[in-house]
Structure 1
Amino acid sequence: MPKDAEIKPAPTPWGLVVMLGAMTAFAPMAIDMYLPSLPAIAQGLSASAGQAQATVAAFFAGMAIGQFIYGPASDRYGRRAPLLVGVVVYTAASVACALATSPEMLIAARFVQALGGCAGGVVARAIIRDKFDHTETARMLSLMMLIMGLAPILAPLLGGVILTIAGWRANFWVLAAFGVAVGAAVLLRLKESRSEATAAQARSESPLQAYAALFRQKRLIGYLLAGALNGATLFTYISASPGLLIGTYGISPQNFGWVFGLNAFGIIGANQVNRHLLRRRTPDQVLATASLVSAGLAALLALVAVTGWGGQWGVLGLLFILLASYGFMQGNTTAGALSVDPLRAGSVSALTGAASFAAGAVAASISAALHDATARPMALIMLVAIAGSAIALHTLALPSREKA
């Protein structure tokens, strides 16, 4: 596209961006803030390392399952009501986490916390598709990373400070307060965006019929798999990072937050580069290139992890670049999926989120099972996931788009 054909974006609705970013931050806040506390949680509840890790897996499972509920509900009943229900559940479960007296209670409370927290992401994506077209949806999703992306940068640092000052339970009280604040903002400021056409479509079919119709669309499956498998690399890193960075590389729990935040900063930066690229390129054009670059980086990371070339800094440097490539993939695959069937935006949003968390939970579980105090399991799982993402994108989503 020539330079004079650059797309001039509409003025940025910063109030909406901040609110939707905060809604979407429920999950990263709830995951990242308490990661530095995992050893303290295990000690405080007399839990094994496996039980402590299960609190992470339970959250991922709740995020994957809950989205199937909120997606169709937001199409049928509007965006506001299901979101407010989710916020109440998230807040109450955060209080239960803070009051947990056993590992089993904490695992159950984390699962319920995720069932509530997933409403934020599902509804936020649907609201964006209600208001914007395909390319602007991709740009808005990238822009939201300026807000949402602060969570994985600040949450581990904040969690580490809170752990030192007030203990691990205080982290969950902070999450409960965050839920109250976001819920109040939604109640007072968020306007309904669901169209009557979307409501009519939702009333004409059951949630199962809506999902069945979506699963028959090849392009949608391509975008879903591409986004979910690429996202699985991030979940693999989140799950493996405490053991790898603190246990294997000897980084202190206090400095862990800085390293973790640096990688999150790379993702935010890549999202903003992506936002500017979308002034000259379509989301699919960016995806076509980014998917191949990601696959090459994953292969290089696996090679370094297996051979030991470059040591820990070789691994960490490539890991930073590879995770940054997530910023070119996730918003564009989500926008592509939402463009396939706008009248079922809530259900599509649920599928994108559920697929990502399901793939992430599987990848994180495999990484934990194969843990050998090296970066090899993490790197090899990332390679398989990103290769699968690129294959799904190029064989299912992009060719269909070109023929459309």
Structure 2
Amino acid sequence: MNDHLVQKRLGYALVLGSLAALGPLCTDLYLPALPTLAAELETNTATSQLSLTAGLLGLGAGQLIFGPLSDRFGRMRPLLLSLLLLLAASVGCALATNIDQLIVARLLQGIAGAGGAVLSRAVARDLYSGHDLTKFFALLMLVNGLAPIIAPVLGGGLLTFLSWRGIFGAIATISILLFVLSSVKLHETLPAERRSTGGAVAMIKSVGKLLHERQFMGLCLTQGFIMAGMFAYIGASPFVLQQIYHLSPVTFSLCFALNGMGLVFAAQISSRLAVMWGELMMVKIGLTIAAIASVILVVAGAMHAPLAVLLVPLFFSIINIGIIGPNAGSLAMQSQGRNAGSASALLGVCMFALGATAVPLTGIGGTSALSMGLTICGCFFIAILIFLTLARPTFAKKS
């Protein structure tokens, strides 16, 4: 890596982190407007929430579209295409006259938002390798980790002077700004000679090949189940902390923000420790913290512990994601050069697919601190099992 790229690392992180944040932004920014939206479109709450589900499905499916496309045609063209699609889909959301139109537009918006997420990781892999890639992923998490914290607050603020249609108009404006910023600040990072050849069949085969790579899939699924634990927390914590422990929305937001900042801080520290101890060791440390913290969380939930007792293991359950995420993601992507787009797509699909599965599990039998803890703990221990059986043996063979 040359000095020019070193100097531009923070600038790239800001642009790519903003692109990676498009997914949370599209999902979380309009959440405060859901009741108003449902009333204006004359639909019920459950049907209006299908617009959220459609967006999440799009975020998962879009990974498999833009990742292989970027391996075939380079990074910039699919990236700019995704931003144009995001603009069109956001305008479609703003102009929707019924819930069916909104759901379709939200699906397209999710697909478009996935482009930024998958391509930000692919571009990072093109530019960096080894410890530098881990550091850059940590920088991406610093920028991207703030999005889920800021988006709902920003959405609520926008609603004070905009309608729900105005929020989608704001997303359309953001897509224009990112299109201009990407065109000016980014450049093509995948030369023609390194691109995959062939048509759609070749792109599908590149994804299929990755499914048979034991180390990559071990790390991919490890990260995916760890992130599923985080989705379970995101889905259940509003009910647990506000309805059971009676926190006000403001106090809940502060707790949510504290955990988010802890995750971001852990990512920065782990990226520096990885230089001394290696990414593999950091993944092991993160999984150890995950196991201990989630078991204590289950015990606290089962005993109906006071709020202060519950929040401590919950905090450590969440911040370990900042340790495992950048390091497992870096290890998985380091082995993928030519297929970085497809590899990034599979990482994203695992996160969203497993996360979407984990969220409803917290509601079985009624959402509670115990059901949240059991789901998080279950996701973490599956991640540990996959790491021990799939990923770690491949590293042992290389040593």
The answer for the alignment partner of 1:358 in structure 2 is 353
Where does residue 267 of structure 1 map in the other structure? 263
How far has the Cα of 1:124 moved from its partner? Answer: 0.8
Q: Distance in 2 between matches of 1:208 and 1:27?
A: 24
Candidates 57, 62, 78, aligned match of 1:61: 57
Cα displacement string for residues 123-176 of structure 1 (whole angstroms, at most 9, x for unaligned residues): 111111111113221110001222222212221211121223334333222222
Partner of 1:189: 185
| 2-structure distance, mates of 1:279, 1:235 | 29
2:397 corresponds to 1:403: yes
Deviation, structure 1 residue 336? 1.5
Question: 1:239 offset after TM fit, Å?
Answer: 2.3
How far apart are the structure 1 equivalents of 2:318 and 2:126? 29
Q: What's 1:344 paired with?
A: 339
Distance 1:121 1:79 in 2: 12
Task: Return closer, same or farther for 1:293/1:67 CA change in 2, 3 Å cut-off.
Answer: same
Indicate conservation of the 8 Å contact 1:157/1:254, yes or no: no
> Hey, what does 2:330 align to over in structure 1?
335
- Displacement of 1:218 in angstroms is 0.5
In structure 1, stretches of 5+ residues that fail to align are 1-8
Contact 1:67 1:118 in 2 (8 A): yes
Question: For the Cα contact (< 8 Å) 2:38–2:45, is it kept in 1?
Answer: yes
**Equivalent runs, 1:205-216 vs 2, <5 Å:** 206-216=202-212
Q: Deviations over 1:234-266 (max 9, x none)?
A: 222222233334444433445543333222211
The answer to whether the 8 A contact 1:89-1:113 is kept is: yes
- Aligned ranges 1:199-348 → 2 under 5 Å: 199-200=195-196, 206-310=202-306, 312-348=307-343
- Deviates further, 161-170 or 351-360: 161-170
CA deviation map 1:314-361 (0-9, x unaligned) = 333322221111100111111111123322111000000011111111
- Give the SS at the match of 1:164: coil
Partner Cα distance (1:371, 1:175) in 2: 37
Structure 1 residue 202, shift from structure 2 partner: 6.3
RMSD after superposition: 2.2
Of 106, 116, 139, the residue aligned with 1:110 is 106
Which stretch of the first structure deviates more once superposed, 144-153 or 350-359?
A: 144-153
Q: Distance in 2 between matches of 1:380 and 1:219?
A: 28
- Out of 389, 394, 398, the position equivalent to 2:383 is 389
Structure 1 residues 47 and 196: alpha-carbon distance in aligned structure 2, compared to 1, 3 A threshold: same
Give % identity: 31
1:379 aligns with 2:373: yes
In structure 2, runs of 5+ residues without a counterpart are none
Check the 8 A contact 1:36/1:253 in 2, yes or no: no
Matched with 2:128 is 132
Check the 8 A contact 2:196/2:338 in 1, yes or no: no
Number of equivalent positions: 394
Distance of 1:25 and 1:320 partners within structure 2: 22
Greater mean deviation of Cα atoms: 231-240 or 99-108: 99-108
How big is the shift at 1:200?
A: 4.4
Give me the whole-angstrom Cα distance separating, in 1, the residues matched to 2:165 and 2:86.
Answer: 16
The amino acid across from 2:232 in the alignment is: T
Q: 2:236 touches 2:367 (CA, 8 Å); kept in 1?
A: no
TM-score by length of structure 1 reads 0.91
- Once the 2 structures are TM-superposed, how far is the Cα of residue 290 of structure 1 from its aligned partner? 0.9
